[in-house]
Structure 1
Amino acid sequence: MDAFPHPDARLVVAGEPGALAGAELAARIERAARVLTRLPPGPVFCGMRNDLSSVVRYLAALRAGTPVALLDADLSPGALTMLIRRFRPTAVFGFAHAVEGSPRGRREAPDPHPDLALLLATSGSTGNPKLVRLSRRAVLANARAIATTLAIGPGDIAPTSLPLHYSYGLSVLNSHLAAGAAVVLTDAGLLERSFWTHLDGHGCTSLAAVPYQYEMLRRLRFDPAEHPTLTTMTQAGGRLRAELLGEFAAKAERFFVMYGQTEATARISVLAPRHLAGKPGSCGQAVPGGRLTVDDGEVVYHGPNVMMGYAETAADLARGDDLGGVLRTGDLGRLDDEGFLYLTGRVKRIAKIFGVRVNLDDVEGLLRDCGPVAATSGDDRVTVWAEGLDRDGCARLARRLGTELRLHWSGFDVRAVDRLPLLTTGKIDYRALESRA
């Protein structure tokens, strides 16, 4: 298999001259890999930031054959402790909060499967997340498929506009490193002036964003023409409103719509710019090497980037490939006669807010003390229906959810109802609520 990163790949720290590349980058990765190989068998937990030390540690783990879980560096001590108890890592690096009782010495857990390379959380901020088990083959296959379909080359430069513990953000890093391109590492967000200063200063050629970020860019009256090197924009992480899609596609030289899941490493399908007008509402065709089918309404993806399976505990890390390259996505959809995918709904009660997956049952569980509530999904938001609240009460509930789930409160549309509609079984009639949204 070809070298990863590509020998020409570059890592650039925002605001600093030069780049870490070539033999210097390889040596830095090799030194970090030697540290990991001295650890007992087992996964390592990495608090992943958009910085050089995090990226080098991740690449070193791939080089050393050490399974690495990339997690939010700002996880609360309680959430991190829970994950440590469940997955028994052999080392923990880079988290904002020190965790009492961090693992040392014998793990008392089975050794991970030799094909296991990467662990990513599935459910964003909510509940007790499963971890997706990904092989090195899956990571590299998807990186190269993305590089091919987006035509990423050595001259391309991408900023880290998304968290690197999020599969979409990580796929930007992986695809550029696989293609011998450059990645500018910055923790600044799109609403910070420094982000745009660095984007222009380093000559970035592409920008990846989720629907919420495109909403923010529109409010900022963002114009790609003000950033002369920026030629490509990509969107995934949920459905982008048709109005916004048309607006940004008209402004950008190249605009790609994408669909993906962490369970497929990152991306499943891509709608190329030349098809935007002729295939409205589609999320494109399968990435190179992949194939899409629809079984009883559910979208099924077949490809080398499909996960090995889920992990609930350390014992699951020893499992081999449970899926054989076939992923039932949980999304409802249809394929046209040219293989373009159109999503129509969800089989399971999962929503996305700003690209983060949220379990609607978990949302309801958080609000059990508030009286009868129900949660339904909308475009890049969750609608919460609550009995007996006034306008101020709805606003307080939205802010509470934003705080507890570490997402912006505007992603929760809390509405008051006199009574929740019920089925004859006494269960909540979610379809009736969705028809009101």
Structure 2
Amino acid sequence: MLTHANLSANVEQVREWASFTREDTLFGVLPQFHSFGMTVLTLMPLATGCHVIYSARFIPKKVLDKIRTHRPTAMLGIPSMYNALRMQKSLCEDDVSSLRYIVSGAEPLSDDVYEGFKKKTGREITEGYGLTETAPVTNWCMPEDNRRGTVGRSLPRIETRIIGEDGAVLGPNLDGEVRLRGPNVMKGYFNLPDETAAAFDEDGFFRTGDMGRLDEDGFLSITGRIKEMLIIGGENVFPREIEEVLNAHPSIQESAVIGQPDPSRGETALAFVELAEGCTFDDTQLRAHCRDGLPQFKVPREIRRLDQLPRNATGKIVRRKLSPDTPASE
């Protein structure tokens, strides 16, 4: 349950953090029924009086044409969108010259997409972070203060803690659960009192379920999801680090990694991949590629090809819809 006060607070936090004014034009490619699309691409522009250009569907060529025509000052998307844009042969520096902010969220921005977009446009994509329960934006790297691999500092009036397994507040550069407190954090889950109570700790901080760390300057890095973390032979392994290696292979469009039971190691990594257009699937080659970039125990025991990985309305891959019983595509 997000109250009027929660939404109003996040609108003000975003507006203050990014200094949005009536002179700005946002480019919206995220659905307005999604929390980010509602707050940042609908409520914030209404409250500020700035323009928004909406695109009902993400079609790279049409999106690029609209950017060229309307010259927005901010674009907010997800990594797969920026990957598709950088693959457009006609993309050049002038196309993004009007943009003050080029922001990615919802999932990690791979080095391949970040470096590829920067090489083609001369511009850096910055990352942000938030959850539906936080209305949603909590962190955002500003271009003038971009720290690659982080989602930036907390927005005004948001407190961030990293909590260890023993419940203690951790210091800089130590991994633990990210917990948040602020006026934008939800009231609770509708008609679910037990789940609501479990979502907050004794100090009123929301338990995000995300693993992360803060550096000495307060920049937050998201290192994985607690529930998605694999334990292979007693070692903690986050799917993200395996996916980063797989996604760097030229035949892979995107990947998703989950755990599958193993009698000797507890779990092993099971990878699902979506191929880039025109590429063929070669399990042996992909596993050899993984061995070049990962310790042996992190190399997926099995890699399965899917025509399409499961995604939500914003295009984010939904790992929970995959299981060891998910068959490979024919």
Give the equivalent residue in structure 2 for 1:138. Answer: 6
Distance 1:216 1:162 in 2: 15
Aligned residue for 1:339?
A: 218
Q: Which amino acid aligns with 1:241?
A: S
TM-score by length of 1: 0.48
Change (3 A) 1:407 1:306: closer
When Rg is computed on C-alpha atoms for both structures, the one with the higher figure is: 1
* Deviation, structure 1 residue 284: 0.9
Question: Corresponding residue for 2:187?
Answer: 308
**Which residue is equivalent to 1:74?**
none
CA distance in 1, matches of 2:92, 2:18: 21
Describe how 1:27-426 pairs up with structure 2 within 5 A: 133-173=1-41, 174-193=43-62, 195-221=63-89, 222-226=91-95, 228-248=97-117, 251=121, 255-276=125-146, 279-296=147-164, 297-311=176-190, 315-316=191-192, 323=200, 326-349=205-228, 378-379=243-244, 381-383=255-257, 385=270, 398-399=306-307, 402=310
Aligned to 1:68: none
- How far the C-alpha of 1:192 sits from its partner, in A, is 4.2
- Structure 2 residue runs of 5 or longer lacking an equivalent are 165-175, 231-237, 245-253, 259-269, 272-280, 284-301, 325-330
Give, in whole Å, the separation in 1 of the partners of 2:75 and 2:308: 31
Aligned length: 246
Contact 1:157 1:182 in 2 (8 A): yes
- Structure 1 residue 292 displacement after superposition: 0.8
Task: Give the AA of the match of 2:217.
Answer: E
Q: Deviations over 1:107-154 (max 9, x none)?
A: xxxxxxxxxxxxxxxxxxxxxxxxxx1111111111121122122111
2:144 is paired with a residue whose SS is helix
Contact 2:127 2:151 in 1 (8 A): yes
Deviation at residue 208 of structure 1 after TM alignment: 1.0
**What is the SS of the residue equivalent to 1:309?**
coil
| CA distance in structure 2 between the partners assigned to 1:137 and 1:406 by the alignment | 26
Q: Which residue of 2 aligns with 1:357?
A: none
Q: Deviations over 1:271-319 (max 9, x none)?
A: 111222xx332211101111111111111111111111223xxx449x9
Question: TM-score of the superposition, structure 2-length normalised?
Answer: 0.62
| Counterpart in the other structure of 2:267 | none
How far did 1:411 drift? Answer: 8.6
Q: Partners in 2 of 1:299 and 1:406 — Cα distance? A: 25
Runs of 4+ in 1 over 4 A off after TM superposition: 252-255, 319-325, 391-397, 404-412
Q: Which runs of 5+ in 1 are unaligned?
A: 1-132, 352-374, 413-419, 421-437
Query: What secondary structure is seen at the aligned counterpart in 1 of 2:2?
Result: strand
Task: Tell whether the 8 Å contact from 1:232 to 1:253 is kept in structure 2 after alignment.
Answer: no
In structure 1, distance between residues paired with 2:102 and 2:123: 8
Change in 2 beyond 3 A, CA 1:345/1:219: same
CA distance in 1, matches of 2:154, 2:316: 34
1:344, distance to aligned residue in structure 2 (A): 2.0
CA distance, structure 2, for counterparts of residue 305 and residue 235 of structure 1: 20
**For 2:108 and 2:24, how far apart are their aligned partners in 1?**
26
Q: Does the 8 A contact of 2:67 with 2:95 survive in 1? A: no
Shift of 1:406: 7.7
Determine if contact 1:265/1:307 at 8 Å carries over to the other structure.
yes
* Partner residue in 1 for 2:327: none
Question: 1:200: Cα distance to partner?
Answer: 3.3
- Please state how far the C-alpha of 1:383 moved relative to its aligned partner: 2.7
Give deviations 1:413-433, integer Å, cap 9, x for gaps: xxxxxxx8xxxxxxxxxxxxx
Q: Secondary structure at the match of 1:225?
A: helix
Once the 2 structures are TM-superposed, how far is the Cα of residue 183 of structure 1 from its aligned partner?
1.3
Amino acid at match of 2:68: D
